[in-house]
Structure 1
């Protein structure tokens, strides 16, 4: 078998895995956005968060009983904040994970948040890379720098992006799909769960 043939097959499988991960991940992101919106609507708007304390506790208990862990009061508050931070669901990017969005929600400046969101997509930043750039104030440094090119070049020296295997084993995605992050689940298990959620 020639190496070029094998590399072609390998590329097909890696691409398929990435598409499957993105589809499952975006289904999770969209559902969390919709849950956040539902919570805000049930509370009667953004200013009625106090009412939500009891609502979130009850919702957390019932969702945990029906769907397993991942629906703590803190995570439900994150979903609520997700909707409030990104009120236009059509603007959500399928390339970004729930962890990306949780990091982006911490950025108060809307222009900076949009910058980090676009850079994370175009540069395929891992969540670790995004966190590093937010914490190093890349946006602010670019705005205030006279040598924007030099500041921009430092971003090129980041660690490699996640592999498709890392993406598929993301604990948030596995939890959302109802799988535990263990090493002994079979590809057919993952395929069936992905089909069910799509």
Structure 2
């Protein structure tokens, strides 16, 4: 019988089921976040009526947890109720007061459904995402990771990884201190080549050890084997074009390690891998690659090519005196094979 089913019908039905499941998951997540936000609101409002607030708050959460757990089972422990309270306090400014008032007026299904629709436009992540976001103490940093998680459709695991790799601090180090406000309000927007850079790039997912000897070929192969992870580390808009792309000049062959295209910047991005300390020859070679792509490969409506020398050890003096002062195409950036210490990166920000 299966052989008689029209492939178009099978594809259409499968697509409908998959999309319906996604909608169901989104609705379940929105309902959970909506419920926990308003439970937190009710706890806070009840606390504000007590005279001895600290002790009163403790007793409210403890007693409420006991009753809710008895009635509804797991999910309403004291710790979770404290999360609900914290969630409301941290995120109440995101919800218009009119919407909060509307949801307080009635518990009728129609009222809740209407509130849920508006609520889903503001809170677009799962409850588990928000639990991890609430653990970030700095409000600017927390806003940045929320924006990036939404715009990049990060899973909870990817959110954890990006936070653990200190993405926020690394982007700020690549730019300037004034960029912190921009990052926390709009996220990392790619408008110019410099926006795609981090200090340093973190490649801990390659599972290469600092103490082990490895070649540039080993590094390249490890990246290709973990290409999806590497592209997540590169950031938004990157498309893989190829590896070991050959350039031939008067019979001499040269090979670019990795070639990407960024659809947001509308340009090619060439990456050369160096396992040692950066040299001026490395920058000169990349300049040649970039010139070739600009003159022979890119289309007239595309932006100038970007070249990144990804090296084990950057040499700022060599970069300064090898590249022109107005350079906006060639960059040298260090990579790390381990997650950097957030404390060390923050110390660099204070310098």
TM-score normalised by structure 1 residue count = 0.70
Q: How does 1:99-118 map to 2 (within 5 A)?
A: 99-118=128-147
Q: Does 1:54 align with 2:59?
A: yes
Structure 2: runs of 5 or more not aligned: 97-118, 176-193, 202-228, 235-351
* TM superposition shift of 1:148: 4.0
The Cα offsets for residues 45-97 of structure 1, whole Å up to 9 and x where unpaired, read as 8x934321111111001000111111000110011011111113538644311
Structure 1: runs of 5 or more not aligned: 159-198
Q: Does 1:43 align with 2:72?
A: no
Asked if the contact 2:171–2:197 (Cα under 8 Å) also holds between the matched residues in 1, the reply is: no
Query: In 2, distance between residues paired with 1:112 and 1:54?
Result: 32
Query: In 2, distance between residues paired with 1:157 and 1:142?
Result: 12
Q: How does 1:37-186 map to 2 (within 5 A)?
A: 37-44=41-48, 48-88=53-93, 90=95, 93-146=122-175, 147-151=194-198, 154=230, 156=232
Bigger Cα Rg? 2
Secondary structure of 1:95's aligned partner? coil
Asked if the contact 1:33–1:89 (Cα under 8 Å) also holds between the matched residues in 2, the reply is: no
Query: In 2, distance between residues paired with 1:100 and 1:113?
Result: 11
Change in Cα spacing, 1:80 to 1:13, as seen in structure 2 (3 Å) is: same
User: Which has more strand, going by share of residues?
Assistant: 2
Aligned residue among 24, 30, 34 for 2:34: 30
Query: In 2, distance between residues paired with 1:131 and 1:155?
Result: 17
* Aligned-CA RMSD value: 2.6
Query: In 2, distance between residues paired with 1:109 and 1:154?
Result: 27
Change in Cα spacing, 1:111 to 1:4, as seen in structure 2 (3 Å) is: farther
Query: In 1, distance between residues paired with 2:161 and 2:124?
Result: 18
User: Which has more helix, going by share of residues?
Assistant: 1
Secondary structure of 2:92's aligned partner? coil
Query: In 1, distance between residues paired with 2:137 and 2:231?
Result: 22
After TM superposition, the runs of 4+ consecutive aligned structure 1 residues lying more than 2 A away are: 1-9, 47-50, 88-95, 150-155
TM-score normalised by structure 2 residue count = 0.41
Change in Cα spacing, 1:157 to 1:138, as seen in structure 2 (3 Å) is: closer
- Structure with bigger RCO (C-alpha 8 Å, 6+ apart): 1
Query: In 1, distance between residues paired with 2:152 and 2:13?
Result: 25
Q: Size of the alignment, in residue pairs?
A: 157
